[in-house]
């Protein structure tokens, strides 16, 4: 078969391109146990023990299944403090993929963010992006700068099947780069795919135009490349000029449009831990390296074990395999069909790393400050032992001391994240059946009230209690 056939043939068989070599038993619990568990953790799913969860769709970060080749590479890891053989393999793989000569390993993506922003930005500066991921924004703000999102207008319509809703708004980008605050713009970051924007991809056309604007105005452009392979896959499917390219070729082009990248290898590195900072500018790399040594580790390990470097290097090679990406897209589409059949709307079109359920629309009887997304997430756990995460007013909204609404999130969503190579179709069928049962009895689902709210990042640590609905 030619390479073209392996990733272009739409009629290809729909089996996963791997089989199971190692198994991990998953817990099966009774409804009573789940009720007790939820009460014990004050209705905050982050408080559950993993042993209380049957299908864990909380995140796709660090939860993927390693391949036999990754485990084997891990065994061959070189744990030397300086000059490790594993670092050299890691650096070669990253250079080959990205073209960036300077490669700094870090323990995970947010360390790359902190090191890059501390080395490149001064307090009072601005960063622009399609949508900053939450840790990216936090690291920008921690050094006294402001992160401004410029998502394209299409991103606002959750139901349209527009293909590249992760794009940046080029007109607003250009206005900002020419505007009165232009001198304060420190960098532009394009997140592929847009995790803050329901996993929607960025087109190569949009990326190339953004890159040209940045170059024209002398502003460095970085990729937040956590899901670069998934973005590349969607480009080969939906952007005409890239139909005949492999995902790997698209990914290589994307990296070559930017001045560097921030990478969380817990996503498209298919590793449990790891990340890196890739840079073109050796002077900037030298400044970053000083911080790396002070806070992560010597530059040939950067907070990782030699075995981690090996596993990430091998994962970066495997992740652009068209058969793997096709299967991942197929998995997401399968779950999307089950969700729609259950009468639940998702943010369209489904991406690869997660589905986003429209809980606000499913549960119109629950007001934003009674957290419809959280209510749906709790019900999925009660009904089927499934853990998901709310992305709505519990995550983004604000209330006053009496629990009265101040601001609500723009929409009330629940994310079902899909760990890589971890769950099979029967697990997803269980999710579909559970959701169908939940949707059928939707009028009886209670809202929630906050009983304890930490000042920062409250969704992780807050306590809640159900508020049964008593009629209009």
Ligand X SMILES: *Cc1c(COP(=O)(O)O)cnc(C)c1O
Structure tokens at 45: 């799913």
Q: Contact positions toward ligand X, by CB under 6 A?
A: 61, 108-110, 133, 135-136, 191, 195, 224, 226, 264, 266-267, 275
Q: How near is the Cβ of 266 to ligand X at its closest, in Å?
A: 5
Nearest-5° Cα angle at 338, 350 to 411: 50
Bridging pattern class, strands 185-191 and 463-467:
unpaired
193: enclosing H helix or E strand? none
Residue, CB closest to ligand X: 109
Q: How near is the Cβ of 281 to ligand X at its closest, in Å?
A: 21
Nearer of residues 414 and 417 to ligand X, judged by Cβ: 417
Structure tokens at 127: 């960063």
Nearer of residues 16 and 134 to ligand X, judged by Cβ: 134
- DSSP letter (8 states) at residue 364: T
Q: How near is the Cβ of 196 to ligand X at its closest, in Å?
A: 7
Q: Which residue has the tokens 């070189």?
A: 78
Q: How near is the Cβ of 362 to ligand X at its closest, in Å?
A: 26
User: What three-state secondary structure class fits 362?
Assistant: helix
Q: How near is the Cβ of 324 to ligand X at its closest, in Å?
A: 19
Residue 338: burial class (beta carbons within 10 Å; 0-12, 13-18, 19+):
buried
Distance of alpha carbon 416 from alpha carbon 418, whole angstroms: 7
CB 271 within 8 A of CB 109: no
Residues taking part in catalysis = 81, 133-134, 224, 226, 267, 459
Distance of alpha carbon 258 from alpha carbon 216, whole angstroms: 13
What are the backbone angles phi and psi of residue 186, rounded to the nearest 5°? -90, -35
- DSSP letter (8 states) at residue 101: S
């Amino acid at each position: 078969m030619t390479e073209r056939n392996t990733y272009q043939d739409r009629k290809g068989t729909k089996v996963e391109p791997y089989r199971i070599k190692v198994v991990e038993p998953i817990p099966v619990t009774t409804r009573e146990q789940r009720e007790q568990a939820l009460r014990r953790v004050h209705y905050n799913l982050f408080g559950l023990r993993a042993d209380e969860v049957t299908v864990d769709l909380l995140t796709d970060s660090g939860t993927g299944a390693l391949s036999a080749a990754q485990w084997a590479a891990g065994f061959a890891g070189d744990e030397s403090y300086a000059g490790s053989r594993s670092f050299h393999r890691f650096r070669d793989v990253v250079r080959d993929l990205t073209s960036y000569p300077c490669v700094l390993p870090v323990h995970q993506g947010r360390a790359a963010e902190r090191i890059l922003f501390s080395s490149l930005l001064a307090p009072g500066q601005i960063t622009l992006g399609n949508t900053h991921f939450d840790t990216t924004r936090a690291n920008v703000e921690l050094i006294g700068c402001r992160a401004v999102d410029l998502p394209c207008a299409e991103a606002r319509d959750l139901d349209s099947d527009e293909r590249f809703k992760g794009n940046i708004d080029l007109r607003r980008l250009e206005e900002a780069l020419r505007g009165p605050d232009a001198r304060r713009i420190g960098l532009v970051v394009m997140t592929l795919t847009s995790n803050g924007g329901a996993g929607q991809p960025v087109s190569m056309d949009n990326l190339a135009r953004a890159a040209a604007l940045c170059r024209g105005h002398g502003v460095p452009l970085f990729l937040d490349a956590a899901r670069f392979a998934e973005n590349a896959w969607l480009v080969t499917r939906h952007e005409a000029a890239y139909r005949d390219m492999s995902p790997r070729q698209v990914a290589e082009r994307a990296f070559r449009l930017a001045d560097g990248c921030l990478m969380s290898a817990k996503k498209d590195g298919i590793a449990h831990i790891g990340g890196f900072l890739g840079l073109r500018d050796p002077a900037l790399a030298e400044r970053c390296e000083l911080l790396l040594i002070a806070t992560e580790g010597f530059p040939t390990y950067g907070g990782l074990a030699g075995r981690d470097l090996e596993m990430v290097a091998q994962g970066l090679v495997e992740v652009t395999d068209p058969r793997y990406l096709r299967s991942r897209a197929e998995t997401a589409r399968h779950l999307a069909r089950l969700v729609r059949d259950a009468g639940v709307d998702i943010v369209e079109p489904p991406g690869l790393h997660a589905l986003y359920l429209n809980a606000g629309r499913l549960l119109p009887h629950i007001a934003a400050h009674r957290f419809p997304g959280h209510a749906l997430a709790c019900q999925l756990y009660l009904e089927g032992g499934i853990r998901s995460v709310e992305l709505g007013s519990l995550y983004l909204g604000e209330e006053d001391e009496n629990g009265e609404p101040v601001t609500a999130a723009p929409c009330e969503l629940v994310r079902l994240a899909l760990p890589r190579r971890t769950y099979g179709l029967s697990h997803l069928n269980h999710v579909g059946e559970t959701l169908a049962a939940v949707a059928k009895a939707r009028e009886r689902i209670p809202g929630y009230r906050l009983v304890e709210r930490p000042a920062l990042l409250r969704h992780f640590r807050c306590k809640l209690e159900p508020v049964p609905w008593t009629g209009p």
